[in-house]
Structures are given as structure tokens and as C-alpha cells.
Amino acid sequence: MDRVRIGVIGVGNIARNYHLPPVHALPNAELVAVADLDESFRSRAQKQFGFRDAYTDYRRILDRDDIHAIMLLTRVNTRTEIIPAALEAGKHVFTQKPFALTNEDAEFLAQAANRTGNRLVCSFMHRYFPHTQGARQILKEGKIGRLEMVRHRNCIGSHYDNAVRLWGGVLDIGTHGIDVIRYLTEQDVVKVQAMMDPYLTNANLPIDPAINRPNETVAIMNFEMSGGTLVTFEMHWTQRGGAGGYYAEHYGDEGSMFIKHPIAPATLIYTQGRKGDWIQPDLEQHPKGHLHHKTFIDDILNNTCESATPEDAVATVKIINAAYEAAQTGKTITVG
């Protein structure tokens, strides 16, 4: 096989604006068929990306022997139905985040991938940004020494209605930060402390019956990592005022590194020693989403495993649910 033929399930805004343009541009990938319940979405996707076939029923894609992989770009509540069916049909699966709502569902999906031997990759897009790739290299080479502390921030200017629609800010935007923390530190989260706005003493947010908890928009989490690094993670769903939405600070015993910091002169900088000069590394640039999706396609064609694994996705779900438990109980939760 020299080209991966792809069927896409769900072609809403995130699919059309982020996922599909870079896949469409890859020479070794072909967008073949699309499925969506919304006729206008299907029509727009066909016109924009040249899908030859369009369906309302996603099973029509799974039944086709000429399709090697699917991209599942729907909301999280479809995962446990569609992903196992796709894997059992012999398809590799690229799925939008979040991976699952519960730990049990996440493990169920990972087991389906392991049982079938097909690839299951969750869309952790922040891994593949140039500054993330550059930061990972700096840390792997030990340029700031042993990593002692991380401060990570994920904040966006959305609306509370969107938090309700997506079952909370931590589950949606917080997923990215949690995965990047694990990816850059190369450590697992072992203990979690958390505070979230629904569990403040003066909070009065309604319980969402679909998830049996309120929908949060603000969260502050502390993580103890398996290698001894301490992490503080800030998540704000309804940020106002145009302040920096995403940045990170990494402090080692021999230097520091800033990613997209509002006071930094460049997207990625680091310093060595207590009073060293700031160093700005050269970053490999690529179109938005290119590396993310190229890695998935290359893994299929070359039998490699450079994309995020099902175990990465499961770990993220467990950390999120530990954070919800910590915020509700006020306790430090050990991630199992």
C-alpha cells in the first residue's frame, strides 16, 4: 500500500477547518467517503475536499473494503459505538478528543484496538505544534537539567453554553494541556489536586444529567509526576481581556524554558544557569495540522508508532476524572 484511503465520519467545523485540509494536501492520503447526518455539512465537505461518496449512515463506510482508515470527528458520546465497529471492520482509527467520558469507556476502546491490532490514535493536536516539538527536544537533551516544576496554562474565550455542550472545559480544552504535560515531561501523573468553579462554596451550577456533575469553566490543578516533577495547570474556558491563552513555564535544576510566554521575545526560549542568556532555538515550521496528520498516515504505511497511543488517551481520561473527584471531595486523588 502506498496510499491510505480514508473515510471521514462527522464533518463539522473542526473537521473542515483543522483536520481535513492537511490530510487533503498529503500525497499519500486520499479522502474517499464522508458520513454525516447533516446534509449541508456533507455537501460542503464534498465541494471543499472532493469526496466522491457521501452517506448519512457511517456503517456504509465501515462496510467498504477499499477504505483503510477512518477519521472520527464527532462528539465524544459516539466513541464507544463507532470506534470498536471500525476496528473490528479492519480500519485504523483517528479520533477527535476527548477520548471518552469515563475510565471504563476509555479502557474498553483501548482494549478493542489491542485486540484487533489496528491503530487507534486520539487527536492531541498540541503535541505536533513546532514549539512543542522544539521544547520536547530541549528537555530530552537535558538542556535545563532535571525538570523540577512546570506551570501550564490553557485558556480560551468561549461561552458557558459551549462548556455545557461539550460537558465541561477540562474535558475539552483541558485535555490538550494534560496530554502535553505528559508528552513533554515523559512522566505519568500519579497524584491530583484540583479546584473548579462548580465546587466553590458560593457556586450554584446545575447538575448535567448526562455526566452527573456540573459543567466547569475554571479549574486549577496540581499534579505530582512519576519522576518527581511538580506541575500546576490552569484552565479557563471563558477568559476575557485578550490575555495569553496558552503558555508554559518549565524550570529545571540547570535552567528554564518558556513556551509562548507573554513576556518572552519568542515562541520558545530557554536559558542555562542562573544568569544565562536566553536562547531561541530554530523551529521546524509546517502548515497547520500537517505534522499531526502526516504522522498518523506514516505510521500506517511504515508500521511505526510515532502518534499518540491508546494508552496515552486512557491516561488523559483517568487524570481528568481524578481531577473531577479531587475538586468535588477536596482530597488528593491517586491516579489508578
| pLDDT of amino acid 181 | 98
Cα(195)–Cα(197) distance, integer angstroms: 7
Query: Residue for cell digits 481528568?
Result: 320
One pLDDT digit (tens) per residue for the chain, 336 residues: 899 999 999 999 999 999 999 999 999 999 999 999 999 999 999 999 999 999 999 999 999 999 999 999 999 999 999 999 999 999 999 999 999 999 999 999 999 999 999 999 999 999 999 999 999 999 999 999 999 999 999 999 999 999 999 999 999 999 999 999 999 999 999 999 999 999 998 888 889 998 999 999 999 999 999 999 999 999 999 988 766 689 999 999 999 999 999 888 899 999 998 777 999 999 999 999 999 999 999 999 999 999 999 999 999 999 999 999 999 999 999 998
250 contacts 261 by C-beta, under 8 angstroms: no
C-alpha cell read off for 78: 459516539
Domains in the chain: ranges and CATH: 4-123 (3.40.50.720), 126-286+316-334 (3.30.360.10)
| pLDDT of amino acid 239 | 86
Type of residue numbered 138: I
CA 194 to each of CA 84, 124, 242, 315, 335: distance values in angstroms, whole numbers, following the listed order: 33, 22, 25, 17, 13
Cα(268)–Cα(1) distance, integer angstroms: 38
The residue among 218, 185, 168 whose CA lies nearest residue 321 is 168
Cα(188)–Cα(228) distance, integer angstroms: 10
Chain centroid offset of residue 70 CA:
18
The residue among 96, 91, 94 whose CA lies nearest residue 64 is 91
Task: Provide the b/e sequence for 171-184 (b: ≥16 CB within 10 Å).
Answer: bbbbbbbbbbbbbb
Phi (first) and psi of residue 159, to 5 degrees? -125, 155
Cα(4)–Cα(68) distance, integer angstroms: 6
Q: Is the dihedral of CA 34, 38, 41, 46 positive or negative?
A: positive
| pLDDT of amino acid 244 | 67
| pLDDT of amino acid 243 | 64
The residue among 207, 223, 199, 122 whose CA lies nearest residue 167 is 207
Beta bridge partners of 216: none
71 contacts 26 by C-beta, under 8 angstroms: no
Collapsed DSSP state (helix, strand, coil) of residue 54: strand
Determine how many CB atoms are found less than 10 A away from the CB of residue 68: 22
Cβ-in-10-Å burial (0-12, 13-18, 19+) of 104 comes to exposed
Q: Nearest-5° angle of CA 184, CA 186, CA 191?
A: 105
| pLDDT of amino acid 210 | 87
Determine how many CB atoms are found less than 10 A away from the CB of residue 221: 27
| pLDDT of amino acid 264 | 86
